[in-house]
Amino acid sequence: MKRFLNLVITRQSVRRYKPDPVDPEQLKRCLEAARLSPSASNSQPWTFIVVNEPTLREKVARETFSTILSFNKFVLQAPALVVFVIEKPKLITRIGANIKNKEYPLIDIGIAAEHFCLQAAEEGLGTCMLGWFNEKPIKSMLNIPAKKTIGLIITLGHPAEGYRLRKKSRKDFDEVVRFNSY
């Protein structure tokens, strides 16, 4: 009963990649895992844009790091990026969200993105979720309608030679788990 837990431990943010392209069948299974994700009222409020055309990919990659702070430069190495666009959920979900003041599509996008990354981990591929990017230029480069929102971007590729599995640094179990009272 620990197969999934082991996969969770294997999945990590990968920040160095080989230039080798990703096998289309492997990419397809990652996208399939995301497509089959659950979502509030089964709204599936997402579109996944794979960016693997080299010139375009580099242009998009350059909008995911700050030239001043210069973090995330590794994004340039990834042979593919996947842009998770948030779509409007169903009317019933929107009404519920309004009444209860919940942003369900963000929860849904998180689930779909993690499905993608977990399948990639099973394939021996590396991913990193990016929440920091310049949304406007990327939307323009990819012809995403101005009123839509990008939830996050995922890098995908083969981890660089010698890339090691790190030990996860997490809060202790007793710090995050409670029983019957906060």
Question: Phi and psi of 14, rounded to 5°?
Answer: -105, 125
Q: How far is the CB of 152 from a copy of itself (least distance, A)?
A: 7
Measured from the CB atom, is 70 or 182 closer to a copy of itself? Answer: 182
Measured from the CB atom, is 53 or 88 closer to a copy of itself? Answer: 53
Q: How far apart are CA 39 and CA 30, in angstroms?
A: 17
Is residue 129 a contact partner of residue 150, using CB atoms and an 8 Å limit? no
Among 14, 15, 22, 40, binds a copy of itself (CB under 8 A): 40
Size of the site for a copy of itself (CB under 8 A): 77
Name the token pair of 125: 């591929």
Q: Does 11 bind a copy of itself (CB under 8 A)?
A: yes
Among 107, 136, 137, 165, binds a copy of itself (CB under 8 A): 107
Q: How far apart are CA 142 and CA 51, in angstroms?
A: 9
Q: Using alpha carbons, select from 128, 173, 132 the residue that is nearest to residue 150.
A: 132
Among 19, 21, 42, 137, binds a copy of itself (CB under 8 A): 42
Name the token pair of 86: 């948030």
Among 68, 70, 146, 179, binds a copy of itself (CB under 8 A): 179
- Subset of residues 126 to 155 that bind a copy of itself, contact rule: CB under 8 A: 129, 131-133, 135, 142-145, 148, 151-152
Q: How far is the CB of 67 from a copy of itself (least distance, A)?
A: 15
Name the token pair of 122: 């099973």
Q: Does 173 bind a copy of itself (CB under 8 A)?
A: yes
Q: What angle do CA 93, 95, 97 make, to 5 degrees?
A: 65
Binding segment toward a copy of itself, per CB under 8 A, in 14-22, 109-117, 157-165: 109-117
Measured from the CB atom, is 17 or 108 closer to a copy of itself? Answer: 108
Place of tokens 């009404």: 95
Q: Using DSSP, state whether 162 is helix, strand or coil.
A: coil
